């Protein structure tokens, strides 16, 4: 018997779609459970995770498996961009038939990062953890260490620590590079630094990054994880980021080639298109 958890976007279309998916699988004697944003789901092992929504829905789903490898995620796009979403809703029955019923699919593993504040575990993130000055009027003053070696003392509005998966999220908007999924790295992206010489860094995945609010910080900060939850930081607090041992697993129709990835980026970002007046 296979157990499947469906997590959906909070709107009526997604609710109806999740219901239809449940009915279709029930006809094949496959049990599904729905998580309606706060309603506890079964304690039985989850064999597959189906998301109906956008990238935010996937991030929400992955966070439910912070301390384990996620079940294989079958993601249907209903969001605005959907870099992470693998399938279109139009052919959802064909996808379910091929993947869950026929067991014909491939798995793409995505690395996650683990965050600790003052040595205490707080989060596992698929996209990013970023430090923000929040409502403070003052810039942040941060000491940044890599493997306990001081890299720089930085002042600015904040700092993004991103996975390759997160490179098309907040990191991209802040001027970070777009990184292919299988490149084992963590990106360190400054947000509006006072010094123009502070440029984004791409570091090996196995390093330990520590960021401290130093004595020059005039206000507090917040650490925001995948845009889903946040933690307060005060002067002399430190945030450590290391590689998580728990990957996120995504069901893909075929092995994703670099060429496919580039085509997807070109299509979604509309690269180098120029405004044309009427």
CA distance linking residue 231 with residue 222, whole number of Å:
5
Alpha-carbon 97 to chain mean position: 27
CA distance linking residue 251 with residue 239, whole number of Å:
32
Task: Please name the residues in contact with 226: beta carbons below 8 A apart, sequence gap of 6 or more.
Answer: 59, 62, 63, 123, 125, 126, 127, 128, 129
> Quick one: which of 104, 95, 113 has its CA closest to 225?
113
Active site annotation includes 55: yes
> Quick one: which of 186, 155, 160 has its CA closest to 173?
160
Q: How far is CA 198 from each of CA 94, 175, 187, 195, 236, rounded to the nearest angstrom?
A: 49, 12, 13, 6, 22
CA distance linking residue 126 with residue 228, whole number of Å:
11
Which is catalytic among the residues 36, 47, 55, 157? Answer: 55
| Residues forming the active site | 55
């Amino acid at each position: 018997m296979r157990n499947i958890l469906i997590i959906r976007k909070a709107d009526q279309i997604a609710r109806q779609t999740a219901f239809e998916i449940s009915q279709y699988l029930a006809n094949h004697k496959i049990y599904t459970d729905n998580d309606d944003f706060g309603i506890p789901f079964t304690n039985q092992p989850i064999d597959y995770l189906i998301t109906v929504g956008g990238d935010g829905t996937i991030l929400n789903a992955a966070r439910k498996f912070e301390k384990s490898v996620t079940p294989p995620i079958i993601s249907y796009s209903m969001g605005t961009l959907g870099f992470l979403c693998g399938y279109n809703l139009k052919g959802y029955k064909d996808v379910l038939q091929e993947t869950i019923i026929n067991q014909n699919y491939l798995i793409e593993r995505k690395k996650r990062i683990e965050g600790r504040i003052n040595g205490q575990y707080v989060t596992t993130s698929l996209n990013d953890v970023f430090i923000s000055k929040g409502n403070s009027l003052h810039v942040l003053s941060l000491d940044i260490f890599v493997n306990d070696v001081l890299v720089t003392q930085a002042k600015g509005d904040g700092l993004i620590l991103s996975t390759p998966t997160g490179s098309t999220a907040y990191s991209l908007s802040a001027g970070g590079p777009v990184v292919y999924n299988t490149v084992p790295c963590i990106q360190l992206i400054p947000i509006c630094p006072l010094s123009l010489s502070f440029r984004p860094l791409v570091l090996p995945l196995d390093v330990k990054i520590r960021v401290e609010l130093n004595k020059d910080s005039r206000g507090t900060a917040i650490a925001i994880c995948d845009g889903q939850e946040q933690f307060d930081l005060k002067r002399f607090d430190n945030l450590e980021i290391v590689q998580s041992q728990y990957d996120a697993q995504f069901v893909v129709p075929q092995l994703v080639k670099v060429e496919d990835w580039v085509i997807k980026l070109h299509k979604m970002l509309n690269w180098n298109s120029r405004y044309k007046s009427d």
